[in-house]
Amino acid sequence: MSKSTETLEFKAEMNQLMDIIIHSLYSHKEVFLRELLSNAADALDKVRFQALTNSDLVADDAPLKIKLAIDKTNNTLTISDNGIGMSRTTIVDQLGTIAKSGTKEFLETLKASDEKDAPDLIGQFGVGFYASFMVADKVTVISRLAGETEAVKWTSEGRGQFTLEDTERSGRGTDIVLHLKEDESEWLQEWTLRSTVKKFSDYVEHAIVMDVEKETPAPEEGGEPIKTVTEEQLNSSKAIWLRSRGEVQDEEYKDFYKAISRDFGDPARWIHYQAEGTLEFNTLLFIPQNKPLDLFQGDDRNSSLHLYVNRVQIMDDCETLLPGWLRFVKGVVDSNDLPLNVSRELLQETRTLEKIRKVLIGRVLKTLGNMRDKSWDEYKTFWENFGAVIKEGVGTDFANRDKIRELLIFETSLTVAGEPTPLNKINENMSDEQDTLWYLVGETRAQLENSPYLEAFKDGSQEVLFLTEPIDEWMIQHLGEVEGKTLKAVDRGELPAADNEALAKTREAFKPFLEAMEGQLDAVKNIRLSSRLKKSAACLVADEGAMSSQMERMMQAMNPDAPAPSAERILELNPDHAAVTQLRSLYEANNDDARVGNCLRVLYDQALIAEGNQILDPADFAERINQLMVSALAK
Ligand code: ADP
């Protein structure tokens, strides 16, 4: 192996990230210690885990631990562990670049966001090792990989470059030496370290120790006091989830949540549950208040609870414990019924886990149901942040669909803005004869309220769900029936009309006109009379079961190169509107009149605008309107 010393450059985004970390986490500097302790604990977990499966890797006899060491002369704080250690390559890969996926997108989000949100965002991102540079102007890492004899030393001032050289270390593990900035000497104080460890890392299962100097008075009068140094453990390493509920204070729950979630805010709810009987496990779950940055980012839409087996963390992101539609839930599950060396693949087939999962889902749903019934305002906020995630479950988790449905809340044509109502309540309010639950998809409530499709519902006798989230249309298709009521879009298919003689006559009278108009307008599948319009002259509708224009626009946005969807639309005309009746009269008086085609096109274009779409040729539209104005004003 070469004994080389090399100097390498940080990746470009690194300096930028470092600036952001240092500035935005200014009032949360203690985060650095939590991150370094958490890395050290991971390294200890890894060595223990590998020793289980790899007989070549003989764990040495020294107990696994993390040690803090203060050097007041040299102004350094050192965090050491006898964990797995790092090879030269690992160090370059992990500490020289930003290996984390999504860093670029993250930086962009951060730039676009409000400055005051930056600490929350960066905290969630997990700044990891780089947080060291908030308190240190130089960091030295000495590490020896388990099974190797040589060690490597990484040094950097956090900017531009880092150097690597070979070195020695007795035994495997890592030392992170922080050369503290001038005004960060508080980290040389025993009590600062003690209280920070207690607050954020108390539950860490491995011992976090420090040499503590104690003075005892001299045995003889006037003599020098006797100084003794003993290694003291700073954390209780007592797993909070194993303690009985009555014993744990609210503050402890909140601190633990912050320690595992990267959220600086308090959780909305916690669920501390100890299952006994045939299935024994302990769990502590948290429902956050704040929406994490990566809730909809990346491909990973799995949940990620920490899984412990008999107090030993075996996975910090177990996706099998909760479905993806509950991925916002944070927490820990500790079971004694699983083997310690269980693999991810094996977990998926474990019956025990399947049973635990069922219980966890049940508990979370119950807690949310309670919040909805007893703390409505809180539930509304929860729903704004996480409702869209839960809605994913409607289409992906058939077994729980009915229960998820009970959580759904919507704004409707009968609610005031900002005040949704539970789906079940809407259903209860409906008369027994009404067999359809209507909905309308759009971008905003205001757009829906002014939509021509709603005109027939303006009398308020029937409630229309307003679906304004991108996921809604997909979700509603998977919702099926709601207690015997069929869900239908008000802008699709034909609305039921009172079948009477007058209507039949109107239809008959309009027939030749409509047929002729169909021949003049290629853009639509057909033209018919509308029973949904009261005020507007025209609107476009899709056939029952077809995609809404909203969905079409979304599909196009996702794949702009795809050809425009062939909208097999139907143009509906309002037979009571003067624009329509006069157009018919004009046509009947002179079916060659050029104004007929012109007006029909204007009706079509205004229907496009009303459904939130764009007209294909705005200049042409303007020209037609101008012509109409000229002839109207000339009179
Ligand atoms: P994260 O912990 O989120 O992966 P960090 O920047 O904190 O990000 O650390 C990057 C990587 O460096 C870790 O994933 C790990 O592989 C390695 N590492 C950091 N600290 C240690 C340590 N004390 N022992 C072994 N490996 C470490």
User: Could you identify the atom of ligand 1 that is nearest to the CA of residue 40?
Assistant: 23
For residues 432-445, give the mean pLDDT: 87
Q: How far is the CA of 34 from the centre of ligand 1 (A)?
A: 12
> What tokens appear for 152 in the block?
């490597």
Q: Cα–Cα–Cα angle for 538, 540, 542, nearest 5°?
A: 150
Q: Which residue's CA lies nearest to atom 20 of ligand 1?
A: 39
Q: Whose CA is nearest to atom 3 of ligand 1?
A: 128
pLDDT at 99: 43
Q: Higher pLDDT residue, 205 or 375?
A: 375
Measured from the Cα of 128, ligand 1's closest atom is 7
Question: What mean pLDDT value characterizes the chain?
Answer: 86
Ligand 1 centroid vs 255 CA: distance in angstroms? 23
Structure tokens at 414: 């009968």
- Is 127's pLDDT higher than 80? no
Backbone angles phi and psi of 5, in degrees to 5: -110, 130
* Phi, psi for 557 (deg, rounded to 5): -65, -35
Task: Say which residue, 312 or 114, is predicted with more confidence.
Answer: 312
pLDDT higher than 60, residue 554? yes
pLDDT above 70 (res 581): yes
Find which of 191-200, 279-288, 472-481 is predicted with most confidence, using mean pLDDT: 279-288
Choose the residue to mutate in 36, 39, 125, 177 for probing ligand 1, maximizing ligand atoms within 8 Å of C-beta. 39
Report pLDDT for 367: 97
Distance, CA 45 to ligand 1 centroid (Å)? Answer: 12
CA-proximal residue: ligand 1, atom 19 (nearest): 39
Pairing status of strand 65-71 against strand 267-275: unpaired
* Across 59-81, average pLDDT: 90
**pLDDT exceeds cutoff 90 at 546:** no
Tell the residue nearest (CA) to atom 23 of ligand 1. 40
- Give strand pairing partners of 143: 152, 174
> Tell me, what's the pLDDT at 294?
73
pLDDT at 422 (0 to 100): 93
Confidence of residue 501 (pLDDT cuts 50, 70, 90): confident
Tally of CB atoms within 10 A around 119: 18
Give residue 188 CA to ligand 1 midpoint distance, Å: 23
Q: Does the pLDDT value for residue 299 go beyond 80?
A: no
Residue among 14, 94, 175 whose CB has most ligand 1 atoms within 8 A, to mutate: 94
Contacts of 499 (CB under 8 A, 6+ apart): none
Distance CA(438)–CA(488), nearest Å, equals 5
pLDDT of residue 239: 87
| Ligand 1 pocket by Cβ (under 6 Å) | 35, 39-40, 43, 81, 83-86, 94, 126, 128-129, 174
The answer, yes or no, to whether residue 38 has pLDDT greater than 70, is yes
Per the CB < 8 A criterion, the answer to whether 492 and 542 are in contact is yes
Q: Report the side by side order of strands in the sheet with 305-309.
A: 267-275, 281-288, 330-335, 305-309, 312-318
> Each residue of 443-472: pLDDT tens digit?
899 989 988 899 888 887 788 999 999 899
Distances (CA, A) of 458 to 448, 462, 491, 532, 574: 12, 9, 15, 10, 16
User: Which ligand 1 atom is the nearest neighbour of the CA of 46?
Assistant: 25
Q: Ligand 1: which atom is nearest the Cα of residue 79?
A: 23
Q: Which atom of ligand 1 is nearest to the CA of 130?
A: 6
The rounded Å distance from CA 340 to ligand 1 centre is 23
Find the 384 Cα to ligand 1 centroid distance in Å: 34
Decide if pLDDT at 61 tops 80.
no
The predicted model gives 505-511 an average pLDDT of: 90
Q: Which residue has the higher pLDDT, 315 or 547?
A: 315
Residues 77-125: tens digit of each pLDDT: 999 999 999 999 999 888 866 545 556 666 677 667 666 666 666 656 6
CA-angle at 58, arms to 57 and 63, nearest 5°: 125
Measured by CA distance, the residue closest to atom 7 of ligand 1 is: 128
Q: What would the pLDDT profile of 131-182 be if each residue is shown by its tens digit?
A: 898 899 999 999 999 989 999 999 999 877 889 999 999 999 999 999 999 9
Looking at per-residue pLDDT, the higher value among 348 and 228 belongs to: 228
Question: Relative to the CA of 176, which ligand 1 atom is closest?
Answer: 23
> Worst-scoring range by mean pLDDT, 39-48, 168-177, 402-411?
39-48
pLDDT at residue number 103 = 62
Question: Looking at the predicted structure, is the pLDDT value of residue 565 above 80?
Answer: no
Q: Name the burial class of residue 196, with classes exposed (0-12), middle (13-18) and buried (19+) by CB atoms within 10 angstroms of its CB.
A: buried
- Measured in angstroms, how far is the CA atom of residue 31 from the centroid of ligand 1? 15
| Atom 10 of ligand 1, residue of closest alpha carbon | 94
Nearest CA to ligand 1 atom 16: 94
Question: Is 3's pLDDT higher than 70?
Answer: no
Give all domains of the chain, ordered by start, each with its CATH number: 5-233 (3.30.565.10), 242-381 (3.30.230.80), 423-489 (3.40.50.11260), 501-633 (1.20.120.790)
For residue 247, the CA-to-ligand 1 centroid distance in Å is 34
In whole angstroms, what is the distance from residue 132 CA to residue 22 CA? Answer: 9
